[in-house]
Amino acid sequence: MAFSFTSLTLWVSVSYLTYSILFKILTNILTTRHTTRRNAAKARELMCEEPPFNRSHWPLGIDSLPRSLVTARAQRFPDDLIKRFEDMGTDTYVYRMLGEYSRCFANIDEQQGEKFHVTD
């Protein structure tokens, strides 16, 4: 059973590409899991609590995007941010922007900001 050089080269190339893609996916999953656990342990050590979640009315958090763009064009963005914090009734909250897996943190307290950097 003899293989031609072309078919052998093609087989090796496809195998290498498959291995490379699977390796990157696996290392990404393991790294993310390790980082998440490390951050959770550090958060428990610092006695951090999960901030409240700012729910969107539209899918993917699209409703906050036009609001931010309109206030930025009117040069009223800082005032709008302060109003958002007042509406939430907290110094820190979590929101999603353009995706299910994106978690964005909004914060106006300097001490809380330091804790974010420690667990980052």
The per-residue pLDDT for range 27-65, each reduced to its tens digit, is 988 888 888 888 888 878 878 777 888 877 777 777 778
Q: Is 12 exposed, middle or buried (0-12, 13-18, 19+ CB in 10 A)?
A: exposed
Q: Assess whether pLDDT exceeds 70 at residue 118.
A: no
Asked if 64 contacts 72 with a C-beta cutoff of 8 angstroms, the reply is: no
Cα 62 from chain centroid (whole Å)? 16
Q: How far apart are CA 88 and CA 94, in angstroms?
A: 10
Choose the weakest-confidence range: 12-21, 55-64, 66-75. Answer: 55-64
User: Could you count the other beta carbons within 10 Å of the beta carbon of residue 39?
Assistant: 14
28: left (phi over 0), alpha (psi -120 to 50) or beta: alpha
